[in-house]
Amino acid sequence: MNTTDVRRRRRHRALAAAVGLLTVTTALAGCGSGGNGSTEDKGGVMGPDDGANLTMWTRAATQQQSQALVKAYNKSHKNKVQLTVIPTDDYQAKVGAAAGSKSLPDILASDVVFVPNYTSSGLYADITDRLDALPYGKELAPAHMAAGTLDGRKYTVPHTIDSSVLFYNKTLYKKAGLDPEKPPTTLKEWDEQARAVDKLGGDVNGTFFGGNCGGCGVFTWWPSIWAAGQEVMNEDGTAATLDSPVAKEVYATYRGWAQDDITAPGAAEETGATWTGLFPKGTIGVMPMPSTTLGLMPGDLDFGVAAIPGPDGGQSTFVGGDSLGISANSKKAGQAWNFLAWSLGDEAQVEVLAAHKDIVARTDLAENKYAKEDPRQVMINTLVAKGTTPFSQKFGQTFNDPNGPWLALMRDAVFGDPSKVDADNKAITESLKD
């Protein structure tokens, strides 16, 4: 073991020398071409931009945002970020394999719900001091920041935000005699409106949900529970309260949709592969979806967005998306920080993210000039402040795992035997404690 360590270190040193040489060369090249950059600050608040090559991984689900950011960064900086996109379902496998052999990229994006586990496993470098020195370090999306904080130290910053909101089809609402400007404000209204649209018949269905997809359930069902002021877990994410009366009321509504065929066919077997594909076809009345699909809707579809309501009102959202951190084994932490800090700056947030109809990661930029053009976007941006990002070390294996205990609860509650919910909730607690 020792000899391989020495060998590995030696190789790293050779690599570092090579990189150093490369840096010098690029710097010289910059001189020759006249040098337009005045961003020659070494270190400082933003970290060095000295022509380093940085590696970065992101999952396929949020690659559009990551790619846009990286492209804009590379165009305006000497540092170059090389982005690798990894299939969403396989991200954990990939990160795990790399973590074991200390070969993580310099910058590691992660689904925000996995961040606590990665942080406690020591995958990320501590960026508390750098973050505190950043002028807009206090304005970052609070739910993402909480997920990336361990024992008071900060490890990650928000990267992309994907929030769950209700999408409704105005054309179908009009046909069904509903007011297209009055989306549901309670779960009961949602139920009535879905059933009204479903009566149109033909290819049209009232609503849809991913009934065999734990991640979808977390993302779209929990906001209804939160909206009523009810929590789903205790504060440190070690015990579940998914058997609360509010939760059961939410499950019962979904159960009704499944039993009365208010949903489009295939809800029971939907593993998350196609659940966002139906609404754009214009055959679904009202359903919760990721806010990132806003920019992907066909131009001729007349639709509105609304907050996900609780049984008797209130509104909430699941603040999902990705966080960004510097991996603990990175040799270029300073340069990596330069990218992180830039990605949170005004230019990146407004001209890159907001311009693509994406949610900004800074609360002080919610009402930017692009958002103002589309009221739906302002609604989503302000909703983020009311939303929650659940926190647990064992989140993935409890809630996202297709063979984990949460999916069992979902399916018992909606398609199977609802009396098993209490026992299923205990199994979830077991898994969280584990």
Partner 1 sequence: MLLARSRGSGSPAPGGEPASRSPFGGGRARAAHRVPWWRTRPAQGIGYAAPTALFVGVFFVVPLVLVGRISLSDWPLLAGNRGFNAPDNFTEAAGDDLLWPSVRFTLTYTALVTVLLLGLALLLALLVQETRPGTGLFRTVFFLPSALGLASASLLFLGMYSPNVGPISPLLERLGVVDEPVSFLGTPTAALWSTVALIVWKYAGFYMLILLVGLQRIPQDVYEAARMDGAGRWQTFRSITLPLLRPSLALTLLLSVTGSLLAFDQFFILTKGGPDNSTMTVVSLIYREAFQRLDLGAAAALSVVVLAVLLILNVAQFRGLRGTDT
Partner 2 sequence: MKPHGLGRTPYHVLVGGLAALFLFPLAWSAWASVSGQPGTAQQSGYGLGNYRSLLHYDAGLAQYLWNSTVVSLLTVALTLLVSLMGGYAFARFTFPGKNALFLLTLAILMVPYATLLIPLYVLLGDLGLQNSLFGLSLVLTVYQLPFATFMMRISFESVPRELEESALVDGCGTAQALVRILLPAVWPGLVTVGLFAFLAAWNDFIAPLILISDSAKAPLPLAIANLRQRSMGAIDYGTTEAGVVVLALPCLVLFLLLQRHYIRGFMSGALKG
Among the listed ranges 20-28, 31-39, 55-63, 365-373, the one in contact with partner 2 (CB under 8 A) is: 55-63
> Which residues in the 84-103 window bind partner 1 by CB under 8 A?
90, 92-93, 95-97, 99-100
The listed partner (partner 2, partner 1, none) that binds 212, CB under 5 to 8 Å by sort, is: partner 1
Nearest alpha carbon to residue 374 among 360, 354, 348, 346: 354
Provide CB contacts within 8 A for 324, sequence distance 6+. Answer: 107, 108, 109, 156, 157, 158, 159, 340, 343
Candidates 127-135, 268-276, 323-331, 343-351 — which segment interacts with partner 2 by CB under 8 A?
Answer: 268-276
> Which among 58-66, 138-146, 244-252, 410-418 is the span making contact with partner 2, rule CB under 8 A?
58-66
Out of 97, 203, 347, 433, the only residue in the binding site for partner 2 (CB under 8 A) is 97
Contact window for partner 2 (CB under 8 A) among 129-137, 211-219, 247-255, 336-344: 211-219
Q: At 206, is the secondary structure helix, strand, or coil?
A: coil
Beta strands in 50-204 (DSSP E): 53-59, 80-86, 107-111, 149-150, 153-154, 156-169
Nearest to 254 by CA among 244, 241, 267, 242: 267
> Is 216 near partner 2 (CB under 8 A)?
yes
The pair of three-digit structure tokens given for residue 360, joined into one six-digit string: 């900004």
- Contact flag: residue 86 with partner 2 (CB under 8 A): yes
For residue 289, give the 3-state DSSP assignment: strand
Of 205, 330, 400, 425, the one binding partner 1 (CB under 8 A) is: 400
Cβ partners under 8 Å of residue 164, min gap 6: 219, 220, 223, 288, 289, 290, 291, 308, 317, 318, 320
Measured CA to CA, the distance from residue 111 to residue 148 in angstroms comes to: 11
Over the window 140 to 179, marking each residue x when it contacts partner 2 by CB under 8 A and - when it does not, the resulting string is ----------------------x-----------------
Q: Is 19 in the site for partner 2 (CB under 8 A)?
A: no
Nearer to partner 2 among residue 217 and residue 237 (C-beta): 217
Nearer to partner 1, 117 or 363 (CB): 117
Q: Is 402 in the site for partner 1 (CB under 8 A)?
A: yes
Residue 265 interacts with, from partner 1, partner 2, none (CB under 5-8 Å by kind): partner 1
Distance CA 384, CA 137 (A): 18
36, 101, 403, 419: which one contacts partner 2 (CB under 8 A)?
Answer: 101
The stretch among 69-77, 285-293, 359-367, 415-423 that binds partner 2 (CB under 8 A) is 285-293
What's the CA gap between 61 and 81, in Å, rounded?
Answer: 19
Which of partner 2, partner 1, none does residue 280 bind to, with CB < 5 to 8 Å depending on kind?
Answer: partner 2
| 113 is a contact residue toward partner 1 (CB under 8 A) | no
Min separation Cβ 261 and partner 2, Å: 22
Identify the three-state secondary structure at position 318.
strand
Buried b (16+ CB within 10 A) or exposed e, 380-400: bbebbeebbbbbbbbbbbbbb
DSSP character at residue 140: B
Task: Provide the phi-psi class of 314: left if phi over 0, else alpha when psi is between -120 and 50, else beta.
Answer: left
Q: Scan residues 115-134 and list those touching partner 1 (CB under 8 A).
A: 117-118, 121-123
Q: Indicate the residue among 281 and 372 with the shorter CB distance to partner 2.
A: 281
Residue ranges that bind partner 2, judged by CB under 8 A: 4, 7-8, 11, 55, 57, 60-63, 67, 82-90, 93-94, 96-98, 100-101, 103, 105, 162, 213, 215-216, 219, 272-277, 280-282, 290, 292-293, 296, 298
